[in-house]
């Protein structure tokens, strides 16, 4: 598998996109709302993606719930994860609902032959508007409890899990899509208030992948976390013992521009410790990476951890029970 995850422009592949997906550096495709009209069209698009290459390719989507749910018509409308406590009366009930949402998300996506959702958001819901109610709660303890249940729900359906945005994006106001956020807090505070959630989930073997933030933690490193060997190699790999896949966040985001042109961004992320890099919403940028990135990055064995995960035999029963749980809490809250 190649190290690049690219996107598609519309509801079916263009000739250029077919050619790009067949490139040996491409190992993944991420889908967006523009790629969805209805279930039958999505099935055809996924068939086209898989038919375009003779090698393995992973297909992913941001399908968290709330305002970040790419497919809506024909899919269960999941609540924003930060709203779970409003639909329930206790942290225990919120945990039940989180688990149900994990099952529903995983089942509906895997039934479409989509490998995984980039979820969950493990950021603490602080001052960041781009995180906001995408975060499970505003404190470490509750986020940890709810994240554990959500991850277990996804795992019940055999879906790989991705924690984002390491080491924590919730305490900076700037949006890394349009700015270069800087978090000036000392390392001790970041580890205690943000990174602890990731560490717990890693120690309990609940995370298959992690996505770092395009945030500069100025007291630690001058580079954003996704380009920092300290955050990815020293802390995440060596100290926390994480053995899963590390995805870059989208290299087209403003927070990634500090690393140079598109190929330089990709090289910097891979050198820092990322296993797969995302280049979305800028086809010329993705092509620049394909034309210039070294082929030595092809064949990373970690990436194979994310494929060949079939739906378990009891998945439909688990799904139906989860939908019942979600509907029950929605009705009760009304």
**pLDDT per residue over 293-317, tens digit each?**
999 999 999 999 898 789 999 999 9
Length of the chain: 334
Catalytic residue among 175, 177, 221, 261: 177
Annotated binding residues for substrate, as ranges? Answer: 62, 70, 134, 164-165
37-to-6, 18, 45, 136 alpha-carbon distances in Å: 20, 20, 11, 29
Confidence category of residue 175, pLDDT binned at 50, 70, 90? low
295-to-2, 23, 55 alpha-carbon distances in Å: 8, 11, 15
Exposure letters 34-54 (e unless 16+ CB within 10 A, then b)? ebbeeeeebeebbeebeebbe
Per DSSP, 79 falls in state P
For residues 271-291, give the mean pLDDT: 96
Q: What is the pLDDT of residues 50-63, one digit of tens each?
A: 999 999 999 999 99
| 208 is a catalytic site residue | no
Q: What percent of the chain has pLDDT over 70?
A: 97
267-to-52, 258, 263, 290 alpha-carbon distances in Å: 25, 13, 6, 12
Catalytic residue among 123, 133, 183, 249: 249
pLDDT, position 235: 97
pLDDT, position 181: 85
pLDDT, position 259: 67
pLDDT, position 270: 97
pLDDT, position 255: 64
Pick 250 or 245 by higher pLDDT.
245
181, burial (CB in 10 Å: exposed 0-12, middle 13-18, buried 19+): buried
What is the C-alpha to C-alpha distance for residues 6 and 296, in angstroms, rounded to an integer?
19
- Given the DSSP bridges, would you call strands 68-69 and 63-65 parallel, antiparallel or unpaired? antiparallel
Q: What percent of the chain has pLDDT over 90?
A: 85
What is the C-alpha to C-alpha distance for residues 286 and 230, in angstroms, rounded to an integer?
26
119, burial (CB in 10 Å: exposed 0-12, middle 13-18, buried 19+): buried
**Distance, C-alpha 116 to centroid of its chain:** 8
Tokens of 71: 């497919």
44-to-49, 70, 263 alpha-carbon distances in Å: 9, 17, 31
What is the C-alpha to C-alpha distance for residues 36 and 88, in angstroms, rounded to an integer?
31
- The tokens 């990731």 sit on which residue? 198
For residues 210-223, give the mean pLDDT: 94
pLDDT, position 87: 95
Contact by Cβ (8 Å): 247, 274: yes
pLDDT, position 332: 85
Question: Containing H/E element for 287?
Answer: helix 283-292
pTM given for the model: 0.95
Contact by Cβ (8 Å): 27, 57: yes
Q: What is the domain partition of the chain in residue ranges?
A: 4-333
pLDDT, position 129: 79
For residues 204-227, give the mean pLDDT: 95
| 324 is a catalytic site residue | no
Name every residue whose Cβ is closer than 8 Å to that of residue 34 and which is 6 or more positions away in sequence. 9, 10, 11
What is the C-alpha to C-alpha distance for residues 36 and 21, in angstroms, rounded to an integer?
19
Averaged pLDDT score across all residues of the chain: 94
Angle subtended at Cα 199 by Cα 310 and Cα 129, rounded to the nearest 5 degrees: 90
Q: What is the pLDDT of residues 94-152, one digit of tens each?
A: 999 999 999 999 999 999 999 999 999 999 987 777 888 999 999 999 999 999 999 99
Q: Is pLDDT at 167 greater than 70 in this prediction?
A: yes
- The tokens 């393995």 sit on which residue? 56
For residues 149-172, give the mean pLDDT: 95
- State which CATH number among 3.40.50.720, 3.40.605.10, 3.40.50.2300, 3.20.20.300 fits the domain covering 4-333: 3.20.20.300
pLDDT, position 154: 98
Query: Whose CA is closest to 177, among 281, 302, 26?
Result: 281
Per DSSP, 56 falls in state -
Q: Is pLDDT at 227 greater than 90 in this prediction?
A: yes
pLDDT, position 260: 78
């Amino acid at each position: 598998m190649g190290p690049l995850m690219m996107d598609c422009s519309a509801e079916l592949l263009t000739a250029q996109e077919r050619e790009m997906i067949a490139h040996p550096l491409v190992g993944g495709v991420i889908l967006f709302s523009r790629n969805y009209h209805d279930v039958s069209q999505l099935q055809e698009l996924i068939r086209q993606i898989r038919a375009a290459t003779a090698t393995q390719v992973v297909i992913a989507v941001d399908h968290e719930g709330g305002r970040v749910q790419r497919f809506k018509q024909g899919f269960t409308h999941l609540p924003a994860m930060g709203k779970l406590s409003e639909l329930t009366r206790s942290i225990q009930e919120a945990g039940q609902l989180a688990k149900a949402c994990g099952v529903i998300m995983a089942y509906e996506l895997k039934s479409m032959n989509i490998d995984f959702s980039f979820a969950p958001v493990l950021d603490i819901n602080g001052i960041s508007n781009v995180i906001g109610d995408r975060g499970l709660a505003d404190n470490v303890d509750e986020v940890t409890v709810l994240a554990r249940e959500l991850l277990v729900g996804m795992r019940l359906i055999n879906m790989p899990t991705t924690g984002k945005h390491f080491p924590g994006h919730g305490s900076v106001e700037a949006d890394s899509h349009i700015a270069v956020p800087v978090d000036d807090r000392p390392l001790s505070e970041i580890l205690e208030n943000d990174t602890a959630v990731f560490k717990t989930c890693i120690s309990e073997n609940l995370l298959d992948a992690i996505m770092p933030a395009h945030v500069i933690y100025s007291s630690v490193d001058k580079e954003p976390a996704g380009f920092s060997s300290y955050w990815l190699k020293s802390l995440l790999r060596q100290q926390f013992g994480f053995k899963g896949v590390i995805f870059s966040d989208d290299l087209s985001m403003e927070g990634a521009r500090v690393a140079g042109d598109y190929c330089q961004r990709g090289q910097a992320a891979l050198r820092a410790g990322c296993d797969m890099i995302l280049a979305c919403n800028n086809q010329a940028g993705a092509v620049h990476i394909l034309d210039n990135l070294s082929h030595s990055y092809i064949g990373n064995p970690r990436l194979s951890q994310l494929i060949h995960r079939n739906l378990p035999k009891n998945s439909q029963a688990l799904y139906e029970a989860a939908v019942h749980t979600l509907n029950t809490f929605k009705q009760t809250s009304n």
